[in-house]
Amino acid sequence: MQPRWETSYCIYNNNGVYWTEFSTEVACMSEKEKTVEIFAVPESESKKFRRGLVLFTVYILGYTLFTVAGTVNKAILQTRVLSMNLGIVGGMIIIASAIVIAVYYNWYATKVEAEAA
């Protein structure tokens, strides 16, 4: 008679709670015993995500207003400001604001990660 090799394992979810037992020969896990795995997101990640979402929303609103204003009334963007038309000045402000937002977010994310460590 051939020896029977069987190993049993216990699987635990992330909270250390016993999930099920199975063997290499026969899996004894029924559908009702299966659990959905939940991944915890660190608080620092959600803080960074929320701040990034707010910054992105502010940028998109500014960009949308600039674009809609130029589309609806072209005379607005032809107004002279600092010896240039408002379209050029507004475009440069949009680009500069994207750079400022990126630098600020990088600083904020670094600060949050340092606090979490």
Residue 36 and residue 48 in one domain: no
CA distances from 89 to 44, 57, 92, 99, 113 (A): 37, 21, 5, 15, 36
Highest mean pLDDT, choosing among 25-29, 56-60, 85-89, 111-115: 56-60
Residue 34 and residue 55 in one domain: no
Q: Is 96 helix (H, G, I), strand (E, B) or coil?
A: helix
H helix runs in the chain, sequence order: 43-72, 74-77, 86-116
Structural domain that includes position 73: 43-116
Dist CA 110 CA 44 (whole Å): 10
Dist CA 98 CA 101 (whole Å): 5
The average confidence (pLDDT) of the chain is 76
Choose among 55, 54, 42: nearest CA to 113. 42
Of the pLDDT bands very low, low, confident and very high (cuts 50, 70, 90), residue 15 is low
Residue 1 and residue 27 in one domain: yes
Phi first, then psi: what are they for 85, rounded to 5°? -80, 155
92-110, pLDDT tens digit by residue? 999 999 999 999 999 999 9
